[in-house]
Structure 1
Amino acid sequence: MKEMPNILWLEEIKKEDIISVGGKGASLGEMTSLGLPVPKAFVVTAQAFRKFLIEKGIEDTVFRRLERLDVDDNDALESVSREVQDIVLSVDIPDHIKEDIIDAYARMGANGEVVAVRSSATAEDLPEASFAGQQETFLNVLGDDDLLEAVHRCWASLYGARAIYYRAKQGFDDRGVNIAVVVQDLIRSEKSGVLFTSHPVTGEPLTIVEGSWGLGEAVVSGSVSPDNYVFDLRSGRVVDRLIAEKEIMIVPEGERGVKTVNLSSEERIAPVLSDDEVARLATFGEIAEEHYGVPQDIEWAIVGDEIFILQSRPITTIRQPDIPRAGAKPESTLGEVLLEGQGASPGIASGRVVIVRDVRDTSTIKEGDILVTRMTNPDMVPAMRRVRAIVTDEGGMTCHAAIVSRELGTPAVVGTKKATKTLQDGQVISVDGEKGIIYEGAVETPAPAAQATTVAAAAPIITGTLVKVNVSLPEAAKRAADTGADGVGLLRIEHLILGLAKTPGWYVEHGEEETFINELYT
């Protein structure tokens, strides 16, 4: 790898630095350069992590353990993951890296700052895969020793079972993936959440904002069913809102860690955001989307009247609307309505209910089952790949598990409040992930979708200048061509490179330059 410093500050980072600072770090640096309100932070670079592996003599040992691992064998996956993480944690961080981290931390504040320590893998927050929640985050960290421990544990989390599994399924080589760590001022948010700059399924120009009280971990983890606001950028107003019953919030606990507290009856049903706050958040989202050229998934926090942007990454789940299915059953005949919640991932699926109260229960899930749980979490990703649909008591459409469900194409309904109490193990149900409804019984398998017919394009508009398109994602190329534009004005080749799962440097080091060129063309 190119020699880089162990520490980079956000002001020094651009999105092109993803190989050094990971997806999260690169995005934060880019947003800082845009003038968005990003809390102060520095990044322990991926090069520092790789130096740690090499200097401590554990690099080959780690990768040998991961070779030929069958990630679909849960027992083997968990065993190897624990072993590799133990190896990483068993050796100290080199002194020169420790010193650089402590020096940077001292620059954040004379008396030491309370910080959030967030993993930022180099195969994370990419346009084609979110890798949501696969590595660790530590909140409310104070002091040199606790900071060093948090960084060390973030490094080890690169080899967590869920992270290994997800990388394997996305086609990433473990040897080519590194991890950086973002150390950022902790915002003691009064309210926080997530926003999508476009509808995460249809791509409509609607800003979807979800928020709850306290730290944002409650929303992204699915621990709470958040308020949901829909802001129409075309009219400049809130066009829909759902005020949820928010039972808990997560807050800092003393000088270390966080705790969950119950909300009062008034706080549970009080709206989290005003229309003005939703509009301000939508404006920040619009700036980010315009800059990146693709819809964004943004984490935010509010203290008093001040808004902070904590993270921005591409939405990976927008799909083209389905052609109406020939022979699909009309809604009125789907069966008795058992539950309603929020549609988090579209599609209709039927199957046998498996109630999951703990991640250990996922071992009982078979192909085609329906996973029903109080709240999903990233440890359930292997099981989520096997099921036909997902139903939860809590969570919103912007929580990590909902994002992954959409990425998997698995229908999901969240925030039902009582699915784990109402439904029974072995019960056959149907889940409508678009409407957010759970029905009794199975839906008949629909006939194959009707073949799409080709529609002649309208006569081209004659202009005095050439009208060209910007193309960011390979999968958007056909849609771009179908617009009838005069050509491509800007091709974002970095997104093509990110989709290869290896860096250009890797191809050069291994004498595979021609392979690199050929893969870009294919």
Structure 2
Amino acid sequence: MAKLIAWFKDIDSNNSHEVGESLAKLGELYSSNFPVNLGFVITTSAFDEFSNANGLCKKLADITSQARLNDSNSILEASKRATELIMNATVPAYVQDRVLSAYHNLETGGERFAALNSTAYAMISAGRARTPQVQITSSLCSEATRGYSFGGTRKTISNIQGDEALVHALKRAWSALYEPQAIYYFKKHGFHEGSIAVCVQKMVDEEQSGIAFSTNPLTQEKEVVVEAIWGWARPLEEGTITPDSYTVGPEHLQVVERKINRQEWLLTRDLRTMKETKKELSTERSNSAVLTDDVIKRVAHLAKKVERHFLKSHFIRFCVISNRVYLTGVHELLPPRSQGSAELQSGMQKVASGVSVSQGSATGTLRIAGTADALFSLPADTVLAVKTLSPKLIAHLENIVGIASLHGGLGSELAILARELAKPIVTQSTDFTSLDENDTILLDTQSASLYSVQTPAPPLESHNSFENAFPAPSFLDTEQNMTQPLPAQPSTEPSFVPKPLSPLLATKPTSSALTVGFSSAEGIFLQELIALCTRFGVNMHIATTKKEESKLTPQPQEEQASKNQQFMPFW
């Protein structure tokens, strides 16, 4: 029978196909005496046995095949159907037995005492719970495990206690393989097969938690970047809290830059009910640094030590308990796939600024996602403004070219994935709620800013008159406004020319100007056009051929000056 359970002490990087790359590395670090808490992994084979026993393989494959990248509704529908199949299925008895046996041994140090006789084992187990409170974390695998972040696909379930609760939570963790963000990720990268492993560890009361990059993920410089929040790490990963940020020099591991962000609440465990709770922080604690310089230095040292161990840049997840730092996760740091910076044009107006967490630039139509329903009608090339960097946005990424967020940091799951997919993100943005939807916005991460871009209306192909070509704006409704000139418009390209005035030559017009072609058959339309342009102060240029030039010959005193002009101002 395939191996269903693997303790950390039996795992190294060669087991990535059984437990996923991140858990394989965590097990290797455990065996190398890094500060990793004891745990075991329910391998991909356990999920495969579960799927085969319930006849789910083909059903799940058929469901996910109906999901389309550019249709987030189809992704969510596929996820819902797949999750229902998994949650309604039964975990085979032999799989349950192996999982629960490891769970019962977790409190006594795993299987290290398996060789002892029953009397000795009973003495060691005395006073220790057979059903400790645990936390489980999923780890996705594919046919191409290395070189992919699987950002946004991790699922953590906390405060699990008891056999029945663990089996139920295990199915919830397995369903992470078919959550919307996972379906999107697999389809985006063209993966055809996937599986999932689940890590089980005892619950700990994290006082602080965070993420540390052994190399700056944006600049690739060797400095260590640390982000930290109070309490559990999930709000950092989900982008619902803006973390403190510390930059540590590579040589002496001294803090060279710090940014303390206000954190008004934390996620923790209520020690009376032993349930997850959201706790408000005092004003003093909200505004104080999460980590001391000593802890920052130890975290940076740990990140660099992991980098030396694997001979590659990595980022680590950590927690702090009673001033001691523990490793909770480790992942290879992939180089960002940046699109490069934008070339700012004159006339662009900065409307918001913040901090870059994923490089590149993008121009698109602004959408402000106030509700989840708004995400289902995003047009192509959307610049999305949101409150938090929720992993739930991943299923909608196909139509999103850039994101601006009020909260979140480099360590959020969405930011990690965005750097892999070259989707620029500016977070900690100044309030952009005053912006209008449908504005064209340039998001530039080099300046960490959003700019309003003035764009012309698209060229119209068929009009019978000037009024039809330019529908009367509201300021034409009063006699007073009819005497006012049209507001200056930016240059447009291509030139707008009403169809009855067939252009003999198209050129890029100047501001507040119209370039038209002229032929004798169109004289009546031209007269109407001249009258309306005169009324509203629009400069008009007429392109002519030599044959028709005589119809527009200027007065004799102007003839020499105009002889070589192809375009003649009409007034």
Task: Specify the TM-score bucket, using the shorter chain as the normaliser.
Answer: 0.7 to 0.9
Deviation at 1:381, TM superposition (A): 1.2
Alignment of 1:231-250 (within 5 A): 231-250=248-267
Bigger radius of gyration among the two:
2
Alignment of 1:444-455 (within 5 A): none
Tell whether 2:11 aligns with 1:22.
no
Matched-pair contact (CA < 8 Å) for 1:230–1:240 = yes
The letter of the residue matching 1:205 is: K
SS in 2 for 1:344: strand
1:439-476 deviation digits (Å, cap 9, x = unpaired): 333699xxxxxxxxxxxxxxxxxxxxxxxxxxxxxxxx
Match of 1:259 in 2: 277
Moved more, 191-200 or 105-114: 105-114
SS in 1 for 2:426: strand
C-alpha separation between the residues in 2 aligned to 1:379 and 1:234? 39
Deviation at 1:229, TM superposition (A): 0.2
Matched-pair contact (CA < 8 Å) for 1:228–1:242 = yes
Please, what TM-score do these two structures have when normalized by structure 2? 0.72
Tell whether 2:224 aligns with 1:210.
no
C-alpha separation between the residues in 2 aligned to 1:131 and 1:359? 23
Structure of higher RCO (CA pairs closer than 8 Å, 6+ residues apart): 1
The letter of the residue matching 2:447 is: K
C-alpha separation between the residues in 2 aligned to 1:321 and 1:73? 24
Matched-pair contact (CA < 8 Å) for 2:135–2:157 = yes
Moved more, 65-74 or 308-317: 65-74
SS in 2 for 1:244: coil
1:146-188 deviation digits (Å, cap 9, x = unpaired): 1111111111221122211210111111xx3111110012221
C-alpha separation between the residues in 2 aligned to 1:292 and 1:286? 10
Match of 1:276 in 2: 294
Instruction: Pick one of 349, 364, 370 that aligns with 1:357.
Output: 370
Match of 1:434 in 2: 446
Alignment of 1:53-68 (within 5 A): 53-67=51-65
Matched-pair contact (CA < 8 Å) for 1:81–1:161 = yes
Alignment of 1:504-519 (within 5 A): none
Matched-pair contact (CA < 8 Å) for 1:350–1:442 = no
Matched-pair contact (CA < 8 Å) for 2:70–2:398 = no
C-alpha separation between the residues in 2 aligned to 1:295 and 1:424? 41
1:25-44 deviation digits (Å, cap 9, x = unpaired): 21211111221111111111
Aligned residues: 434
Match of 1:157 in 2: 176
The letter of the residue matching 1:114 is: Q
Match of 2:4 in 1: 6
Match of 1:340 in 2: 353
Instruction: Pick one of 366, 387, 401 that aligns with 1:388.
Output: 401
Matched-pair contact (CA < 8 Å) for 1:125–1:132 = no
Matched-pair contact (CA < 8 Å) for 1:350–1:443 = no
C-alpha separation between the residues in 2 aligned to 1:303 and 1:373? 33
Matched-pair contact (CA < 8 Å) for 2:253–2:300 = no
Identity %, equivalent residues: 25
C-alpha separation between the residues in 1 aligned to 2:395 and 2:16? 27
Deviation at 1:135, TM superposition (A): 4.2
Match of 2:153 in 1: 134
Alignment of 1:55-454 (within 5 A): 55-67=53-65, 69-109=67-107, 110-111=128-129, 112-123=131-142, 126-173=145-192, 176-253=193-270, 258-318=276-336, 328-329=343-344, 335-416=348-429, 418-419=431-432, 421-441=433-453
C-alpha separation between the residues in 1 aligned to 2:347 and 2:18? 51
The letter of the residue matching 2:444 is: D
The letter of the residue matching 1:106 is: H
The letter of the residue matching 1:308 is: Y
Structure-2 change in CA distance of 1:318 and 1:67 (3 Å): closer
C-alpha separation between the residues in 2 aligned to 1:34 and 1:423? 53
1:122-161 deviation digits (Å, cap 9, x = unpaired): 1399542211222421012222221111111111221122
SS in 1 for 2:149: coil
C-alpha separation between the residues in 2 aligned to 1:369 and 1:38? 42
1:346-375 deviation digits (Å, cap 9, x = unpaired): 223332221113333211211112110001
The letter of the residue matching 1:26 is: A
C-alpha separation between the residues in 2 aligned to 1:350 and 1:64? 36
1:215-262 deviation digits (Å, cap 9, x = unpaired): 011111111011000001124311100001112211124656523222
Instruction: Pick one of 20, 35, 41 that aligns with 1:43.
Output: 41
SS in 2 for 1:388: strand
The letter of the residue matching 2:403 is: I
Structure-2 change in CA distance of 1:383 and 1:106 (3 Å): same
SS in 1 for 2:158: strand
C-alpha separation between the residues in 1 aligned to 2:430 and 2:377? 23
The letter of the residue matching 2:332 is: P
C-alpha separation between the residues in 2 aligned to 1:388 and 1:59? 34
Matched-pair contact (CA < 8 Å) for 1:351–1:442 = no
C-alpha separation between the residues in 1 aligned to 2:390 and 2:182? 13
Structure-2 change in CA distance of 1:381 and 1:125 (3 Å): farther
C-alpha separation between the residues in 1 aligned to 2:16 and 2:59? 26
Matched-pair contact (CA < 8 Å) for 1:23–1:123 = no
Deviation at 1:69, TM superposition (A): 4.1
Deviation at 1:318, TM superposition (A): 3.3
Deviation at 1:408, TM superposition (A): 1.6
Match of 2:552 in 1: none
SS in 2 for 1:380: helix
C-alpha separation between the residues in 2 aligned to 1:124 and 1:268? 44
The letter of the residue matching 2:413 is: H
Moved more, 408-417 or 145-154: 408-417
Structure-2 change in CA distance of 1:320 and 1:166 (3 Å): closer
Deviation at 1:334, TM superposition (A): 7.0
1:468-503 deviation digits (Å, cap 9, x = unpaired): xxxxxxxxxxxxxxxxxxxxxxxxxxxxxxxxxxxx
Structure-2 change in CA distance of 1:35 and 1:393 (3 Å): same
SS in 1 for 2:178: coil
Structure-2 change in CA distance of 1:319 and 1:429 (3 Å): closer
Please, what TM-score do these two structures have when normalized by structure 1? 0.78
Moved more, 87-96 or 359-368: 359-368
Matched-pair contact (CA < 8 Å) for 2:352–2:430 = no
Matched-pair contact (CA < 8 Å) for 1:6–1:100 = yes
The letter of the residue matching 1:337 is: K
Match of 2:509 in 1: none
The letter of the residue matching 1:318 is: P
Match of 2:459 in 1: none
Structure-2 change in CA distance of 1:320 and 1:135 (3 Å): closer
SS in 1 for 2:239: coil
